[in-house]
Amino acid sequence: MKKTLNLIILFLFGLLAIEGCVKKEDDANPVDPDNSLIIAEATTAKYVIVSPSTGAVKAEVQPNVISINQLALGYNSQKAIITSKESGGSFVKVIYTCDRETGANLFQVTSEQMWDIQSMDASRTTPSIVFHGHPVDGGASTSNIFTVNLDGTNVQQLTQNKELVEGIELWWPYFPAFSPNGQKIAFRGNMRTPDPGGYWWGQSIIVMDVNGSNKQILYNEPEANSGTHSDISWTRDGKFLVFLTTEGYSTPNERVKVLRVEDGHIIDITQNLMVDGLHTTNLCTSPVSNTILFNKYQPGGGDLYAIDYTVNNDQFQINGSYRMFAAYDTYQLHFGAPDWQLWDGN
């Protein structure tokens, strides 16, 4: 009997020891089931890290910058990447990195004397940033897309303003986005085609290799005022691009579209993402699930919503309706311009 009792005690002690080694979820430190993180603007100069499984705020971070214009999470999400206005009251924007959950170790990646940064994205597979900018002293007519390492080294120019892409002049490339495997970059381009009466302008979505080669027009709007594309995001399988666009002759003007990369087929999902009759202002896609995050146009507040989709035999379909993901009322924080990236799980 005594031997049996000792065995039971040892067994229970073993269970307690095992439990002590398991990372448990609690309100202060929730455990995420996947290896990804969400970052979003919180105030003028603050951002939040959001749990992808619960929508809970994991950290509120205020790095030493005067503003946050755009956000991303770097390779393995160890660094937050920020575009911010330079100090001294200038409107020139540069890229900084900082420690993800503290904002410490602020590092300036790009020089304020070189480019005014307009848009950027971070690679999921390498410590690389892709950005659109124009020289501070050169004007927007010389804007181009570049890549740069997180430490500021290895700057590569990928586009040349007025270069020919499929026989059409490329002007003002904007909103570059890395593909999930890091091998491709999609972006928006203003396309100028010669015409007997002068020129006509169109808006295109273009994809190129990560080194700038093999540019291909995937989608082209017939008129420049009917398609200002932004927030280009790849689905996790790399088969589709989700993006915002404007159409001057539609109601609402602001549209959300899905582009099949293989053949340029377009699906309009605008109505699926309208909340309380308000249009979508920002969006991103998950790197680990078939989910789109987005903001509704909401002056004075910043709720974050999510909606799921399915892909069957290269067919894209919205699955169900949207849901609240993170509420402004819960945290008294905005959840603007989200970015969803992989991380190493530590």
Segment 29-43, tens digit of pLDDT: 444 556 899 999 998
- Count the domains in the chain: 1
Does some domain include residue 17?
A: no
What is the pLDDT averaged over residues 55-78?
93
Reported as a pLDDT band with limits 50, 70 and 90, residue 249 is low
Residue 211 within a domain: yes
pLDDT at 18: 32
Q: Is pLDDT above 50 for 20?
A: no
CATH number at residue 172: 2.120.10.30
Query: Average pLDDT, stretch 139-157?
Result: 87
Query: Please, how many CA atoms are within 13 Å of residue 180, restricted to the half-sphere of its CB?
Result: 16
24 within domain boundaries:
no
- The answer to whether position 147 is within a domain reads yes
Quote the domain boundaries for residue 250: 34-342
Structure tokens at 257: 């579209």
Query: What is the pLDDT, as a whole number, of residue 196?
Result: 59
- Under the banding of pLDDT at 50, 70 and 90, the label for residue 206 is very high
What is the predicted pLDDT for the residue at 5?
45
Specify if 22 maps to a domain.
no
Q: What is the pLDDT of residue 168?
A: 86
The pLDDT score that the predictor gives to residue 47 is 96
pLDDT at 95: 96
The pLDDT, as a whole number, for residue 10 is 41
Average pLDDT, the chain: 85
pLDDT at residue 222, rounded to an integer? 58
Residue 33 confidence (pLDDT): 56
Q: Is 242 helix (H, G, I), strand (E, B) or coil?
A: strand
Pairing relationship of beta strands 156-157 and 164-165 according to DSSP bridges: unpaired
pTM of the predicted model, to two decimals?
0.86
Q: Is residue 118 part of a domain?
A: yes
**Residue 4 belongs to some domain of the structure:** no
According to the model, what pLDDT value does residue 228 have?
A: 81
Q: What is the pLDDT of residues 79-131, one digit of tens each?
A: 999 999 877 767 789 999 999 999 999 999 998 778 899 899 999 999 999 99
What's the average model confidence in pLDDT over 155-169?
Answer: 90
User: What's the whole-number mean pLDDT along residues 247-262?
Assistant: 84
Q: What is the pLDDT of residue 250?
A: 67
19, part of any domain: no
Model confidence band, residue 297 (pLDDT cutoffs 50, 70, 90):
confident
Residues 6+ apart with CB under 8 A from 260: 239, 240, 266, 267, 314, 316
The pLDDT, as a whole number, for residue 7 is: 43
Q: Are 261 and 311 in contact (CB under 8 A)?
A: no
Contact of 130 with 147, CB cutoff 8 Å: yes
Non-local CB neighbours of 146 within 8 Å, separated by 6+ positions = 115, 130, 131, 132, 133, 155, 156, 157, 158
Task: Give the model confidence (pLDDT) of 266-296 as tens digits.
Answer: 999 999 999 998 899 999 999 999 999 999 9
pLDDT of residue 3: 46
* Confidence category of residue 2, pLDDT binned at 50, 70, 90: very low
